[in-house]
Amino acid sequence: MPLAPTIRTLLRLRVAIVTTESAKCLFFEKTGSAASPDIDLLFLGTGRFVAHPDITPPMTRYFGFAGDSAAYCKGQRSNRAEMRSMPLMRIPRAIRFFLMALALLAPVCQRSSAQAALLMEEPFGFFGFLNPTGHDAVYFQRICAETPVKLRRCAPGENGAVITRYQGITDYDWIAMPLLPYLYAVENASEVPSRADRETVTALRDKYHEAHLQSLGKDVPRGGNVKRGWSQFVGVAYDRRIHAFRFATTEGQDDQLIAQMNAGSNRSHFNLLTRNCADFNSGILNFYFPRTFHRTILPDAGITTPRQVTYQLLRYARQHPETQLATSDIPQIPGNRRRSRANKSIAQSLITSGYIVPLSFITPYLAGAVIVDYLIWGRYPLGLKHEQILTPEDMAPLTSSAVSTQNPQSCRGHTR
């Protein structure tokens, strides 16, 4: 939230904030005057106003100070011995000042310059036809993968990691991958092909696996359309289109998530109905936005889906603008597969995949309930028509820092 408009609204004054090596400086003056950029100190926070003895600007009449004492000091760091005390403002002026101070020091958490994003990935291939709900994952700008199963804070210049749950990665419940290898199976954006046939994609994936994924063990299969394996999370953008829903995070939250996931038992209990990828990401999002994401009987018969989780995030962001949600589109790299399909809810999957026809012969009442479920509850409008397009060379909207004001609900216990 910009400070200057807030102060002008309350007091019709202008505020300038300058941080030097000496102190943070607050300088207030009548509207219309220019704030000096080299102010150093106004209020020590000890009940006294102080100023360097060599500087005595005509600020007394503005703030009600006695005598010719100054209301600010410039330039170099000044110690207590060089400074002199000034009497407090007269009562009416003091009331105005402390109202302003309350506005500035209100209990609002400031987000550190970092962010995360929910990645809703479209279904593809034969399995995507049978189950067109798709997949989802969570990207973190500040969290990196020390190994595929261990997290750490990112070093300067690193672009963060994607954390997700997959079936068939031996006994691991979740996997962490650097962003570019996860999307394109390369470590440098200049190496991403504009078009890649199946042989090219296979070569890129094998090269990355050979260099970085041997620690997963030989028991992890490569995988394919039916049997799952490590190829699911290397070069995802060659198989499907991805929608990214960015939101801000705090340094404390990210550190706590790293500690929690590293200390937890990373052992798979995957179940398509009750412990799927969307359930996993709901748990991560609930860490940042408590009690927001949950399974529901209607729609989708209590099964969590990527589209449902995304809709809940969008609904939360509409109610909490400080989330600063932004959407992006990571296009599918052509050449390897046909274009992926849109993510669907369970009810919509049953209808569009044709399962509703035999179901209507078996039990027409249940088929009718599925149709009603979809029409009333299960559409999940996401507003994906005006997304920002991301390219391998320009992932900045997803990876660059963002400063915002945090939801107070998620500040508790998660800020530093």
Q: Residue 170 has what pLDDT?
A: 82
Q: Is 202 helix (H, G, I), strand (E, B) or coil?
A: helix
Question: For position 224, what pLDDT does the model report?
Answer: 73
Listing DSSP states for 205-254 in one string gives: HHHHHHHH-GGG-TTS----SSS--GGGGSSGGGT--EEEEEEE--HHHH
List all residues 6 or more positions away from 159 whose beta carbon is below 8 Å from its beta carbon: 141, 178, 179, 180, 395, 399
Q: Is residue 43 classed as helix, strand or coil in its secondary structure?
A: strand
Contact 145, 151 (CB under 8 A): yes
* pLDDT tens, position by position, 221-275: 888 766 678 999 999 999 999 999 999 999 999 999 999 999 999 999 899 889 9
**Among the listed ranges 143-147, 370-374, 391-395, 407-411, which one has the minimum average pLDDT value?**
407-411
| Count of H-run helices and E-run strands, the chain | 13, 15
Predicted confidence at residue 394, as pLDDT, reads 93
Burial class (CB in 10 A: 0-12, 13-18, 19+), 161: buried
Question: Do the Cβ atoms of 86 and 49 come closer than 8 Å?
Answer: yes
In whole angstroms, give the CA distance from residue 322 to residue 154.
24
Q: Quick one: which of 153, 169, 171, 170 has its CA closest to 161?
A: 153
Q: Which residue type, as a one-letter code, is found at position 381?
A: P
